[in-house]
Amino acid sequence: MVAVASTNEFVVKFANVNGTGSASANHLFAKALFRMGIPVSPRNLFPSNIQGLPTWYEVRISEQGYLGRRSDRVELVVAMNPQSFTADVDSLVPGGYLLYDSTKLIDLSRYRDDIHWLGIPLMDICMREYQDPRQRQIFKNIIYVGALAALLNIEFPVVKDLIADQFRGKEKLIAPNIHALELGHQYASQNFDCPLGIQVRRRDLLGDAILVDGNTAAALGCVYGGATVASWYPITPSTSLVEAFEKYANRLRIDPGSGNKNFAILQAEDEISAMGIVIGASWNGARAFTATSGPGVSLMTEFLGLAYYAEIPVVLFNVQRGGPSTGMPTRTQQADLLSSAYASHGDTKHILLFPADPRDSFELAAQAFDLAERLQTPVIVMLDLELGMNDWVSPPFDWDDRRRYDRGKVLDAGQLQALDTFGRYVDVDGDGIPYRTYPGTHPDKGAFFTRGTSHNPFAGYSESNTDYVENVDRITRKFTTACDVLPAPVVGKSKRSSSLHGVVYIGTTALVMNEVIDRLGELGVSLDTLQVRAFPFHAEVFKFIKNHQKVFVIDQNRDGQLRTLLINEGDIDPAKLVSILHYDGHPITAATVIDAVVGHLDVKTGRPSPAVQVPPQEVEQ
Amino acid sequence: MSYIPKPSFRHPQLPVNDLGLTVRDYEGALSTLCAGCGHDSISSAVMQACHQMALEPYRVAKMSGIGCSSKTPNYFLNQAHGFNAVHGRMPSVTTGANLANRDLIYIGMSGDGDTASIGIGQFIHAVRRRLNMVYIVANNGTYGLTKGQNSATADRGSLAKKGSANPWDNVDLVTMAIQAGAGFVARSFSGDKAQLVPLLQAAIAHNGFAFIDCISPCVTFNNHRGSTKSFDYVREHNTALNRTDFIPMKEEITADYQPGEFTDVCLHDGSVMRLHKMAADGAAGYDPQDRVAALDHIQRRSAAGEVLTGLLYLEPNAPDMHEVMETAEQPLNQLGERELCPGREVLQTINASFR
C-alpha cells in the first residue's frame, strides 16, 4: 500500500466530542508547529452546541505559506469521536493515516483498506495511570499530542516548553501534563515506525510572527484605539471580542491611583440597547463600540439610521456567521455586506472596513474610532468567523507612540467662545463634515438638539424640502470625503507586467489568494489582484476594474453581494464582473477559486481539476 | 413646528436664583403641543425645579424617545444639549451618555407608549442598573401623535374617545419600577405643580434612578367622561400620600411643624426631603423606605379605585451604576491617550504572549 509522504505540507484533522477538553490539547499541537517556524493554520469546525456533538479541529501545515483551508481531504485524522468515525475515515486521502483509540476492538475490515491504522489504547493507558475520571478524559487528549510528536517528528522540548508556558502560575499541573505527553510519545515510538511519511521539520520561516485570533486582535485594537465604553449582547461568533477587550482592559486600564476602571463594559439586555448605549456614549464624547453578528445588526438597524442621519460616531464589529435568520451560528460566511452597507430605512449608507488577518484586525479596529469620529458616522468592521475565532499566523501588532487619536471636528469651550454662531450641521469647510460639541461644554454656546427628524443646518426641526435635500446632499459630500481617507485597496500585479484579467475580494478570502495565484501560474493563468479594504469603494477599485477586460469577484455568499455593491456604486457593466461564489459555511478554499477561474477561462490544463488533486508526492512505504 | 416666534419680553422684576438667572433663562422653544396639554405643565415644572435649585442649564442633558412627551425637552432648558432618540430607546442612549460623562444631570422625558410598550424592556433594565437619572413618564394613557389609540397604561374599562372600553389590563409603572430596584419612585399629576416641583427637585438630587410617573391628561384624545386619565377623573380620585418639601443642602432646616407630622430624609448630595404625611381617606401611610409596604399600599389604593400620588418609595443611599461598575471618578470622555493607550512597549510584551 502506498503511504502519503510529505514534509511540512499536509493537513491533520482532530475529530473530537464537543466539551471534552480537546481544544487546548489541539491548540498545543498547532502552537508547537508554529514554534518550529512552520506556517500553520488551525481552524475550528464546530457545531452550535454545548456538549456532545462532533467537533473538528483542522490544522494545515504549509511550508509554502498557504494558510487557507485546503480541501475536505486530509492526510491524518485523530479520530476520537465514535459518532463521526465513518465520516472521518472517509475524509482521508488514499494512503493517509488514522490515529484511533484501540482500547476497544474495532473491526477495521469494515472500513477502508487503503489507509494506515494507528491504534493506541488511549483509554487503557488513562485507566492505568489516572484515578480521577476528569483527568482520564483530559489527559487522553494530551497523550495523543505526545504520540503525534513522535509520529510527525515534532521537537519534544518545544511541546514541553509550551506546557510550562501554559501552566505558568499553576506549576503543579506541569509535571502530570508532561507525563501524559511522554506516555503518548513512548507508545508511538515503541509501536510504530516513527516518523511517518508525513512529518515536520524545523524551518524558522516565521520570524517575529504571532499566532492569534482576529477577535482578540480587534479587541486589542479597541484598547489601543482608546475605546472607553463597550456594550454588547452575547452572540457567536463575536462574543470573544468583547471578552478579550475586558481581559486586556482589566489588565491595562486600571487607574493606578484609585484602582477604578478607565473603561466601562456593559452587557446589555439586547443588541438594540447595546447600540443605544454606544450612540449615547459617542454623542457624549467617549469612544464606544459594540460587537455582534448578523442577527444583532438586524436589530440595530433603526439605531444605525439615527446615527447616520444625526451624524453620531459608532464603531460596530460585525463578526459574520452563516445564513439568514439563526442560520449557521458557528459557520463562516461574508453574507452581511448588503445588510450592513445599507442598514436602515430611507437613504442610508455606512462605512465598512474589511480586515483580512489579525494584524489588519488590530489596525482597522483602532483606526475605526478615528474614522468614526472624523466622519461622524457609523463604521462597521466586517470580520467573519473564520478570522474572528481561529488562530492565524500574523505579523506582530505595532503601535507608534507618537500617534494621536483623531477626535474629529469637536469645538471646545474656547473655540465656542470665539464663535458668533454655531450650527451643528453647517458645512463650514466644504468637505461635508460639520462641527459638533459635547454636552456640558459651554454655558451659553454650542447646545443643540440631536434628533432623527429632518433638521436644518442649526439642528432645528424642519420639514422644508430644501433643508432636507441640502442636508442629505451634504452627507453625500461627506461620504465622498470619506473615500479619500478610508484604507486604500491592496493591489497585486501578476508576474507578467499586467494581466487582462483581475480578481477582487475582501477579508479572509485574502488568506487563500497566494495559493490561488501560484497554482494558476503553474497552469499558465495570470491574474492581477485587488483586496478591497473599505466601503464606499476607493477610486483605485474602479480604476482596477476599468483597466481589466474581465474581473472575477469572489464572494463568500450566495448572491454575489460584493459584486452587487461594485455594480451599484461604480456604475459598472455587470457583464464585466464574473462571480465566484462560496457559501456552504466552510471557509473558502483555493481550489474553489482556481476551479472557477479555470472553468471560466476554458484553460486546457491537461490535469485533473485542482479541487480533486491530492498533494503532490506519493511514494511507496 | 410653530411659526410664531417666542416673545423675548421678560418682566424686569422676575426673581433671580443664586446664579442670577430668572426662570426665563430655563425656557426652551415655544411648545407645539395642544393648548392645555398636561405635558406643558411638566415642562414648566422642570424649569421651575431647575431654577429653584440654581442648576446651570448647560450641565443638564435632556433625553427623550418618540411621542408627544418626547418632544417636550425642546421646550425647556435651551442651553442644554438634547437628544430626541428613537421610539422606546431613550434609556439605552441615556445609559451610554451617562457612562461617558457621569458629571452631567440627565433628565429623561418619556411617555406611556414610549416606556410601557415599545420601551418596556429598556426601561426595566435601566432601572435595574440604577442609572443615575431622572426619568419622567408623562402618562396620558393614549397615543396622541397617532390620534388616540389606547396605550399600555390605559386602565381596563377606560373609555376611548369614540366610546369603546379598553379590554386589556394596564401596566403599572410605579410598582414595576419599585420591583426592579429604582431608588426613588413617585407618582404625580401635571395639574398639581405644588406637588410636582418639589418631587422633581428631590428626584434631581437623588443619586440613582429617580422615577416620576406623572399623570398628564391628553386634552385632545383622552380627557372625556369615562376615561380614567382625564383631568376630572384624576382630580376626583387623587389620593396624595404625602406632600414634599425640598430643602437644598445650604439652607438651614427650620421646624415649622409639630414633630410627628413629617419625616426628613437626607439625600445623597446633603439636601433634605421633608415628607408631610397626608393620611386622608383612611390611607394610613407607611414608611416610604419599606419596599414591601410601598408595594402593598400602592396596590391596595389602586384596588380601591384611587390614584395614589406623592413620594411612594425611597432608598436614598443605594449605589448607582458607576459605583457598581467601579468606573473612574473622572468622566470617561475626558480621558486621553495618556490614560487610554498602553503604548508600544506593552504591545511588544503582548506580541510575545502570542508566540
CATH of domain B23-330: 3.40.50.970
**What domains lie within chain A, and their CATH numbers?**
2-199 (3.40.920.10), 212-394 (3.40.50.970), 413-485 (no CATH), 490-612 (3.40.50.920)
A100-119 mean pLDDT = 94
| CB < 8 Å to B355, chain A | 34-35, 208-211
Q: Is the CB of B129 less than 8 angstroms away from the CB of A228?
A: no
Q: Is the CB of A273 less than 8 angstroms away from the CB of B95?
A: yes
A99-106 mean pLDDT = 95
A594-618 mean pLDDT = 65
Q: pLDDT grade, residue A614 (50/70/90)? A: very low
Q: Is the CB of A398 less than 8 angstroms away from the CB of B99?
A: no
Closest CB from A212, A226, A438 relative to B341: A226
User: What pLDDT score does A15 carry?
Assistant: 96
Closest CB from B125, B328, B343 relative to A255: B328
The more confidently predicted of residues A484 and A464 is A464
User: What pLDDT score does A18 carry?
Assistant: 84
- Give dist(CA A224, CA B89) in Å, integer: 30
For A412, the closest chain B residue by CA position comes to: B334
CB A393 within 8 A of CB A41: yes
Closest CB from B73, B93, B342 relative to A280: B93
Q: For residue A332, give Cα distances in angstroms to A46, A507, B119.
A: 11, 12, 33
Residue A166 has pLDDT above 70, yes or no: yes
Å between B137 CA and nearest CA of chain A: 19
Å between A523 CA and nearest CA of chain B: 37
3-state secondary structure of A40: strand
Average pLDDT, chain A: 94
- Give dist(CA B98, CA B134) in Å, integer: 12
User: What pLDDT score does A605 carry?
Assistant: 61
- Return the amino acid letter for B312: L
User: In chain B, what are the helix, strand and coil shares in percent, each to the nearest 5?
Assistant: 35, 20, 45
- Give dist(CA B90, CA A273) in Å, integer: 9
Q: Is the CB of A280 less than 8 angstroms away from the CB of B97?
A: yes
Q: What region does B181 belong to: left with phi over 0, alpha with psi -120 to 50, or beta?
A: left
For B351, the closest chain A residue by CA position comes to: A396
Q: Is the CB of A260 less than 8 angstroms away from the CB of B347?
A: no
CB A93 within 8 A of CB A73: yes
Å between A259 CA and nearest CA of chain B: 8
- Give dist(CA B205, CA B53) in Å, integer: 9
- Give dist(CA A344, CA A57) in Å, integer: 38
Residues contacting B133, CB < 8 A, separation 6+: B63, B94, B98, B106, B107, B108, B126, B209, B210
End-to-end CA distance of chain A: 7
DSSP symbols for A390-407: SEEEEPPP---TT-----
Pairing between β-strand B133-139 and β-strand B209-215 as defined by DSSP bridges: parallel
CB B78 within 8 A of CB B27: yes
User: What pLDDT score does A46 carry?
Assistant: 83
Closest CB from A223, A269, A400 relative to B342: A223
Q: Is the CB of A284 less than 8 angstroms away from the CB of B97?
A: yes
Question: Percent of chain B scored above 90 by pLDDT?
Answer: 82
User: What pLDDT score does B1 carry?
Assistant: 43
Residue B3 has pLDDT above 80, yes or no: no
Q: Give the model confidence (pLDDT) of B28-83 as tens digits.
A: 999 999 999 999 999 999 999 999 999 999 999 999 999 999 999 999 999 999 99
Closest CB from B79, B342, B355 relative to A210: B355
DSSP class of residue A507 equals G
Q: Give the model confidence (pLDDT) of A38-66 as tens digits.
A: 999 999 988 877 677 889 999 999 999 99
Residues contacting B8, CB < 8 A, separation 6+: none
Going by C-alpha positions, the residue among B87, B300, B90 that lies closest to residue B211 is: B90
A145-149 mean pLDDT = 98
Cell numbers 499558465 label which residue? Answer: A524
Q: Is the CB of A399 less than 8 angstroms away from the CB of B344?
A: yes
| CB < 8 Å to A404, chain B | 337
CB A231 within 8 A of CB A278: yes
Residue A125 has pLDDT above 60, yes or no: yes
| CB < 8 Å to B128, chain A | none
The domain locations on chain B are 23-330
Q: pLDDT grade, residue B144 (50/70/90)? A: very high
Q: Is the CB of A398 less than 8 angstroms away from the CB of B344?
A: yes
Closest CB from B57, B124, B328 relative to A262: B328
| CB < 8 Å to A210, chain B | 351, 354-355
For B121, the closest chain A residue by CA position comes to: A269
Residue B300 has pLDDT above 90, yes or no: yes
CB A536 within 8 A of CB A479: yes
Helix/strand/coil (H/E/C) assignment for every residue in A141-181? HHHHHHHHHHHHCCCHHHHHHHHHHHCCCCHHHHHHHHHHH
| CB < 8 Å to B33, chain A | none
Closest CB from B327, B344, B348 relative to A261: B327
DSSP class of residue B115 equals H
Q: Does A454 touch chain B (CB under 8 A)?
A: no
Q: pLDDT grade, residue A496 (50/70/90)? A: low
Pairing between β-strand A351-353 and β-strand A534-535 as defined by DSSP bridges: antiparallel
Restricting to A residues 456-495, those with a Cβ less than 8 Å away from any Cβ of B are 460-463
Q: For residue A232, give Cα distances in angstroms to A236, A267, A274, A282, B222.
A: 12, 5, 5, 15, 40
Q: Does A268 touch chain B (CB under 8 A)?
A: yes
Q: Give the model confidence (pLDDT) of A193-243 as tens digits.
A: 999 999 999 999 999 999 999 999 999 999 999 999 999 999 999 999 999
User: What pLDDT score does A616 carry?
Assistant: 43
Q: Give the model confidence (pLDDT) of B302-334 as tens digits.
A: 999 999 999 999 999 999 999 999 999 999 999
HSE (CB half, 13 Å, CA atoms) of A250? 8
Q: Is the CB of A440 less than 8 angstroms away from the CB of B97?
A: no
Å between A240 CA and nearest CA of chain B: 16
Q: Give the model confidence (pLDDT) of B197-225 as tens digits.
A: 999 999 999 999 999 999 999 999 999 99
| CB < 8 Å to B92, chain A | 268, 272-277, 279-280
- Give dist(CA A328, CA A332) in Å, integer: 8
Residue A585 has pLDDT above 90, yes or no: yes
Closest CB from A252, A439, A451 relative to B342: A252
Q: Give the model confidence (pLDDT) of B235-263 as tens digits.
A: 999 999 888 999 887 776 665 555 567 78
- Give dist(CA A341, CA A354) in Å, integer: 12
- Give dist(CA A373, CA A378) in Å, integer: 9
Question: Percent of chain A scored above 70 by pLDDT?
Answer: 96
Q: Is the CB of A260 less than 8 angstroms away from the CB of B328?
A: yes
Range with the lowest mean pLDDT among A558-562, B86-90, B160-164? Answer: B160-164
Q: Does A224 touch chain B (CB under 8 A)?
A: yes
Question: Percent of chain A scored above 90 by pLDDT?
Answer: 91
Q: pLDDT grade, residue A617 (50/70/90)? A: very low
Phi and psi, residue A214, nearest 5°: -65, -30
| CB < 8 Å to B348, chain A | 396
CB A375 within 8 A of CB A478: yes
Q: Give the model confidence (pLDDT) of A508-556 as tens digits.
A: 999 999 999 999 999 999 999 999 999 999 999 999 999 999 999 999 9
Residues contacting A206, CB < 8 A, separation 6+: A34, A37, A38, A39, A393
- How many CB pairs (< 8 A) connect A and B? 226
Going by C-alpha positions, the residue among A511, A490, A507, A595 that lies closest to residue A555 is: A507
User: What pLDDT score does A610 carry?
Assistant: 45
Residue A621 has pLDDT above 50, yes or no: no
Q: pLDDT grade, residue A29 (50/70/90)? A: very high
Q: Is the CB of B335 less than 8 angstroms away from the CB of A228?
A: yes
| CB < 8 Å to B325, chain A | 261, 264, 266
Å between A451 CA and nearest CA of chain B: 5
- Give dist(CA B206, CA A499) in Å, integer: 71
Q: Does A283 touch chain B (CB under 8 A)?
A: yes
Closest CB from A269, A286, A439 relative to B99: A286
B189-193 mean pLDDT = 94
The more confidently predicted of residues B23 and B274 is B23
Q: Is the CB of A449 less than 8 angstroms away from the CB of B97?
A: no
Å between B258 CA and nearest CA of chain A: 43
For B353, the closest chain A residue by CA position comes to: A210
Q: Does A447 touch chain B (CB under 8 A)?
A: yes
Q: For residue A342, give Cα distances in angstroms to A223, A346, A348, A378, A468.
A: 28, 9, 6, 11, 19
For A35, the closest chain B residue by CA position comes to: B355
B184-202 mean pLDDT = 96
Cell numbers 443638564 label which residue? Answer: B60
| Count of Cβ atoms closer than 10 Å to residue A323 Cβ | 17
Residue A369 has pLDDT above 90, yes or no: yes
- Complex ipTM, two decimals? 0.96
Residue A619 has pLDDT above 60, yes or no: no
DSSP symbols for B168-197: SPPP-HHHHHHHHT-SEEEEEETT-HHHHH
Going by C-alpha positions, the residue among A273, A272, A264 that lies closest to residue A245 is: A264
- Strand order in A92-101's β-sheet? A40-45, A54-62, A9-17, A74-79, A92-101, A116-120
Pairing between β-strand A264-267 and β-strand B105-111 as defined by DSSP bridges: unpaired
- Give dist(CA B330, CA B332) in Å, integer: 6
